[in-house]
Amino acid sequence: MKDLLVALILTAAGVIDLRKRQVTRITKILLISLIPFGFKTINLWGAIIAIPFFVAAYYGGIGGGDAKAILILGILLGYERAFATVCLGCTMFAAVSKVIELVKRQRDLEFPIMPYLAAGYILQLILGVYIT
């Protein structure tokens, strides 16, 4: 049930990010509200996943809301599942954004990352990807 709720929240966040180019507070609050369900203290290590994204946000590479959402996702899912989600999502993000840049023949376009994280999470659920 928790996985379904996370998938729905991330999908909704992806749609909002596509339209408004922001990750809303309600998205982060909803994700935080799911942390107590099935929480293990080892899940706190999932926060490490967000460090590169906070560095990118500091230098203007991505938005701060994206980094905060990834931090929450790391704690919510734990290191292994968050790592798989972020790797799958970022791989799709890199491939799709590069294709769009080549088709439009423009560089430095801005792309939302939340739709790809949602897709990475759903793909991780379907494939049962766990890094061990």
pLDDT tens-digit readout, 88-121: 999 999 999 889 888 888 777 778 889 999 999 9
Could you list the residue range(s) of the whole structural domain that residue 7 is in?
A: 2-127
Confirm whether 132 is domain-assigned.
Answer: no
Whether 10 is covered by a domain: the verdict is: yes
Per-residue model confidence as pLDDT tens digits over 29-58: 999 999 998 888 999 999 999 999 999 999
Domain assignment of residue 14, yes or no: yes
Q: Positive or negative CA dihedral for 116, 117, 121, 122?
A: negative
Say what angle helices 64-77 and 2-20 make with each other, to 10 degrees. Answer: 170
The tally of domains found in the chain comes to 1
Q: Is the pLDDT of residue 132 over 50?
A: no
pLDDT at 131 over 60: no
pTM for this predicted structure: 0.86
- Look at residue 16 and tell me if it is in a domain: yes
- Residue percentage of the chain with pLDDT more than 70: 97
